[in-house]
Structure 1
């Protein structure tokens, strides 16, 4: 009996030490990933749209869209309140996921911008891309430009604030992922499955039509193709959402700190977020079981060449439609 008690005690002690070590390993990685946002100065919008210092020359047919876009930007000002979400109370929240194409000696641009609305009361996640060529006011920079240039001008802070102004809704959290780091996340999760609508070759891979399983590198190539797609950048946006949705579904299956450690290990240098370790724990324990579905929508717009530069123009009515869908999703179900 004494020997059995000693053995059991040693096993329990060893398990406790291992769990304690694992817990602190996860916390250390999460702390390394944490990067808080800083407030931006007020936006002073220039009277004419600017890109790379060139004065644009819009055609008559383009001007209606240009005026409409600028009017929205001017009316928006800096009026979006900085509202925090109380995760302890299982409140809904928004998170901006940015896939960043970083280069040596260059901050790079946000290659993908996906906004998620997470509402455990509705048991769902609402997801949509913001097309990277969308023309809008750049918060804190005083210009009108492509929305993905906000990251080049002012990093995460300017990108998040610009999205808030564009949609007139608060962004509670952000996650910034280096594109190569995103591939490692997918491999850690064991790959993702997507429903491919068209067969194509890209990046040295062949993607058949139908349900396909992708490794990290394959998923990166799959999400980057656009020139062979009849829908161009919109088609690529759809594939990006498929990949993010696949990652979300796999992540929601994790149930312990050990799984979280496996996911975070090796990707800490590729991911930055303002979600703290304590908030990550709350998401795992209080939110995970209440999220069962993902709804995807698409921002509608049209192309326009202004000053020799192609933009994606989203009119006021469409912005209001997207905002209304977001606001409704953030409310409790009727």
Structure 2
């Protein structure tokens, strides 16, 4: 799916609508937004966390959020699904900075079961948001404080909720029966979802798709914060309510909207990806040690944590971060304990 940006819409739209709604609609808006937050709130039952003491958003401490976009909710797709878009956001209100790191779904990652490595997006299918948070926390060596999930129907609903967005489409294409013509056009939810999903007809592949996703998100957020967005706040709330889950509480969202929001005006974006490799005829991204260490330290700086000079990993797992394949991969019939899953991902567009 790679629609990680739609998660940003979920959290920023909800926070913005909360504050704007309170200003323009008084207690009625307060009740409606509060009801939405209660309906989408779902705690993550994690047994272990990197932080011994939970971060305090009320006290304006820097924090991190794992943003997950799942490949269900539209096109007849149901079930648990995979988190085919993943992003870690760190927010520092004192520095008024945010850092967004996109995580390639095909990154080979530790599934934390004693030896299995698999695609990072499979963690959600295996163990829900809890395993996703744990796997990303292990990978990036930072605490993951909160999460937000939005399924792919959320992007479509949000585009419709703001009465569409205008784009200058450079590629005439049809995706699964949805035609998106060349030129200056207005996208509704259906065509907007196709515009953000399309990859194979773009000569730049995933890079082009991610560029279009950023464009869609930017335009949706602009409309959410506009007068039209305020007038349609109920539709925006419904779009968020039907398609998202988060462990953030109402009070935390209000604190983010009032005390952290300036940090979202200064966003540094990074992409964590490695070298593509076929292992057991399955495609994986193998991360480089230096690249991973750089991203870890970038996020640690934003969270005001000590940085590291070396990557702290178990030597037997080092191959999964340095691109070396050779004979390091074994199946579970051999004596080597590390096992690379052969599970396939049939839909490469999501």
TM-score (norm 2): 0.68
Q: 2:34 aligns with which of 24, 27, 35?
A: 27
Q: Per the alignment, in what secondary structure is the counterpart of residue 160 of structure 1? A: helix
CA distance in 1, matches of 2:47, 2:167: 38
Cα pair distance change 1:191/1:172, threshold 3 Å? farther
Query: Could you say which residue in structure 2 is the equivalent of 1:201?
Result: 173
Cα pair distance change 1:98/1:30, threshold 3 Å? same
Q: Does the CA-based 8 Å contact 2:180-2:195 persist in structure 1?
A: no
CA distance in 1, matches of 2:222, 2:53: 27
Query: Could you say which residue in structure 1 is the equivalent of 2:269?
Result: 296
CA distance in 2, matches of 1:111, 1:217: 19
Deviates more, 1:90-99 or 1:311-320: 90-99
CA distance in 2, matches of 1:252, 1:106: 33
Cα pair distance change 1:36/1:253, threshold 3 Å? farther
Q: 1:97 aligns with which of 50, 67, 73?
A: 67
Q: Does the CA-based 8 Å contact 2:108-2:284 persist in structure 1?
A: yes
Query: Could you say which residue in structure 1 is the equivalent of 2:4?
Result: none
Cα pair distance change 1:91/1:187, threshold 3 Å? farther
Q: CA RMSD in A?
A: 3.3
Alignment of 1:159-174 (within 5 A): 159-174=132-147
Query: Could you say which residue in structure 2 is the equivalent of 1:52?
Result: none
How far is 1:212 from its partner?
7.0
TM-score (norm 1): 0.71
Q: Per the alignment, in what secondary structure is the counterpart of residue 30 of structure 2? A: helix
Alignment of 1:165-184 (within 5 A): 165-184=138-157
Q: Per the alignment, in what secondary structure is the counterpart of residue 265 of structure 1? A: helix
Q: Deviations over 1:227-270 (max 9, x none)?
A: 2334433443444344445455555669x999765532343121
How far is 1:320 from its partner?
0.5
Q: Per the alignment, in what secondary structure is the counterpart of residue 106 of structure 1? A: coil
Could you list the runs of 5+ residues in structure 1 that have no partner in the other structure? 1-14, 42-77
How far is 1:176 from its partner?
0.6
Cα pair distance change 1:121/1:190, threshold 3 Å? farther
Cα pair distance change 1:226/1:266, threshold 3 Å? closer
Deviates more, 1:125-134 or 1:98-107: 98-107
Compare CA radii of gyration and give the structure with the larger one. Answer: 1
Q: Per the alignment, in what secondary structure is the counterpart of residue 43 of structure 2? A: coil
Is 1:38 aligned to residue 37 of structure 2? no
